[in-house]
Copies of this chain bind each other. A is one copy, B any other.
Amino acid sequence: MIQRAFILSTGDELTTGKVVDTNANYLADKLNEIGLDLAGVITVGDVPERLEWAWKTAMEQADVVISTGGIGPTADDLTTETVARLTGKKLWFDNETADKMRRLFESGGRKMPENNLKQAMFPETAVIILNALGTAPGFRMAVAQKNHTSHLIVLPGVPREMKPMMEETVIPWLVESRGHDKVHVSQTFQTYGISESGLDQAVAGLIKPEEARVSFRASFPQISLRVAVEGRPGEAQTRLDELSARVREKISDFVYGEGDVTMEDVIGRLLTERHLTLAVAESCTGGMVGHRITNVAGASNYLRADLVTYSDESKVKLLGVSKETLKQHGAVSEQCVLEMAAGARKAIGADIGLATSGIAGPGGGSKEKPVGTVCIALVAEGFKAARTYRMWGTRDWIKTLASQVALDWIRRYLLGLPMGEGPFRR
């Protein structure tokens, strides 16, 4: 019965920091999706005794060990040898694999270097996993441990070869071999305007540990909460729906979306549904609001223009902000952002005008308007609002936070909600 998994990521490029290990993340996600429990990931370089230790450790603890890397043709590719040595198996040479490799090279008009033949060697009892996109096939084999059987799955490290092997061969085999018919379902809530600990408190006691696993993920400036349920098909989804409803009721004020969505996705969907257009005027956020909005495919359907007026002069010339306002209230003022939002809207004839102006720092602050002071305004037909926030942190932090509040204003306006107090509510 396969329940508990381990991932091995091998290669000096990982232990010297040359490459980010995206394979482990991909595999973790796939295992999570089919409800296997990932007990751990071990990463080691191409050093025989470390590889051996990693394999031994993983096999002892897991029903299935998935390894990437170390099956190339060069001298530092040690995985196949290590597995054979550890499991006491001899290596055999697979003629069919060797022929395929030769043909692959010949079809590219090249002669196969002899060291590639190493990739046609497999431990006895291994079942070959075909690799449609590269020379090195993978393999799997079962190894008896003290109290369980550990299934070893050896894959190449190149993501574009590894992923199809995983999806076409390994996952179907894993699903068939899990030995139970439980499924794993989850629901994610994207929140904003509440801290991770505030969120934790808000849902405390709502779900018992045996009902579901509740986890939080903070990815500035948003925090997501996930409810994950394991159970029999049908039953699991019903339970998830019921638990999700409980959570939703408690935190709906802070949820801007459910599932894998960003604030800019949500706004894009709302604007598209309502056939409304947007004009932005940015000062302190410096283009970040526009950048985020245009990260969504199809943004050209609603974003008419974004005027980043980084100087007083450009606010006057491009947005029609009055010199009097700048003189009397300054560029970081509710009066100014209101004129900016109205000016952007008018300049291009959009339905909604949104504006930001503030002091992102590190310089430019004063006692009255310290670094982190940010004004936001939204102007639409028969509607106008402006507000001053006191944010904190580094320059990029303030830009990010201000862009998030600004985007949230669009969402709130479209949903008829009051403009938010921002990330400072709790």
Given A311-B304, A399-B294: A115 touches B200 (CB 8 Å cut-off): yes
Q: A73-B196, A286-B291, A314-B304 are in contact. Are A215 and B390 (CB under 8 A)?
A: no
In A372-407, the 8 Å CB interface with B consists of 390-397, 399
Tell me the A14-34 residues at the B interface (CB within 8 Å). 14-22, 24-32
| Closest residue on chain B to residue A7 by CB atoms | B43
Chain B residue contacts of A288, Cβ below 8 A: 287, 291, 294
**Residue of B15, B395, B399 touching A38 (CB-CB under 8 A):** B15
**Which of chain B's residues have a CB closer than 8 A to the CB of A32?**
15-17
A17 B30 Cβ-Cβ under 8 A: yes
Interface check A66, CB cutoff 8 A: no
* Chain B residues within an 8 Å CB radius of A298: 363
Tell me whether B40 and A43 are in contact (CB under 8 A).
yes
Q: Is A217's CB within 8 Å of the partner chain B?
A: yes
Q: Is the CB of A28 within 8 A of B14?
A: yes
How far is the CB of A346 from the nearest CB of chain B, in Å? 11
- CB nearest neighbor in B for A49: B39
A253 → B minimal CB distance (Å):
16
Task: Mark interface residues in A207-238 (1 if CB within 8 Å of B CB, else 0).
Answer: 00000010111111000001010000000000
A366 interface residue, CB < 8 Å from B? no
Q: Is A70 an interface residue (CB 8 A)?
A: no
A113 interface contact, C-beta 8 A: yes
**Is A266 an interface residue when CB atoms closer than 8 A count as contact?**
no
Rounded to whole angstroms, the CA-CA distance of A226 and B393 in the bound complex is 31
Question: Complex Cα distance A396/B159, Å?
Answer: 13
A contact face: mostly helix, strand, loop, or mixed:
mixed
Partner of A17 from the list B29, B42, B45, B50 (CB cut-off 8 Å) is B29
- Report which of B21, B111, B197, B295 forms a contact with A115, defined as CB distance below 8 A: B197
- Asked if A413 is at the interface of the complex by the 8 Å CB criterion, the answer is no
By beta carbon, the residue of chain B nearest A57 is B57
Chain B residues with Cβ under 8 A from A360's Cβ? Answer: 294
**In the bound complex, what is the Cα–Cα distance between A361 and B299 (angstroms)?**
11
Alpha-carbon distance A21/B395, docked complex (angstroms)? 22
Contact of A200 among B13, B75, B318 (CB under 8 A): B75
- Does A347 lie within 8 Å of B287, measured CB to CB? no
In whole angstroms, what is the CA distance A268 to B348 when docked? 30
Cα distance, A2 to B424, chains bound together (Å): 43
- Taking the closest CB of chain B, its distance from the CB of A208, in whole angstroms, is 13
10 further contact pairs, Cβ within 8 A, besides A16-B38, A39-B50, A115-B201:
A17-B31, A20-B22, A21-B25, A73-B197, A113-B426, A280-B308, A287-B290, A287-B291, A295-B399, A313-B348
13 intermolecular pairs with C-beta atoms under 8 Å apart:
A14-B28, A16-B32, A39-B44, A108-B390, A113-B195, A160-B220, A287-B288, A287-B294, A287-B306, A300-B311, A306-B307, A306-B310, A314-B348
